[in-house]
Amino acid sequence: MEWEFTPQQVVKGEAGYGLDEFRHDLMQEVGLNIPGLGQEQLEPVFSLAYDLCYWLATGKDYDEFEERFQDNNTVMFLRALREHGKANVEMLGAILQRMIMDGVEAGLSVDDAVDRVAAHQSELVRQGGVTLG
């Protein structure tokens, strides 16, 4: 994805771009890059792409993520995502940092702010509901 602002601007609060917008934009990007997918096929591919971005944005090791998959096509897809999705990972990391900072500025401890962001992210994933349009 390309934005008219930088991850640094998101972290500083100079650009209002959040998790919901990121997820929507990522869904659109996946849909554009893999034409012909119907909504029921697009959702699991998007979920995998988002999970990888979140995994990497939170500082986890790529190889640990990949180890969970045995299907060669999935592994190749993940490798392509990692290679071409570095900007997405950086932007998602910035969004998560801003969310944590917002929590701290609202009076939460850093640990509580991190927990709140993780819970919010988990709820978004559980709800799904991201669509093109």
Q: Rounded distance, CA 56 to CA 115, Å?
A: 17
Q: Rounded distance, CA 88 to CA 94, Å?
A: 10
Q: What is the pLDDT of residues 24-48, one digit of tens each?
A: 999 999 999 888 888 788 889 999 9
* 109 band by pLDDT with thresholds 50, 70 and 90: very high
Q: Rounded distance, CA 95 to CA 11, Å?
A: 7
pTM of the shown model:
0.89
On the question of pLDDT at 129 being above 70, the answer is: no
Domain chopping of the chain, boundaries: 10-128
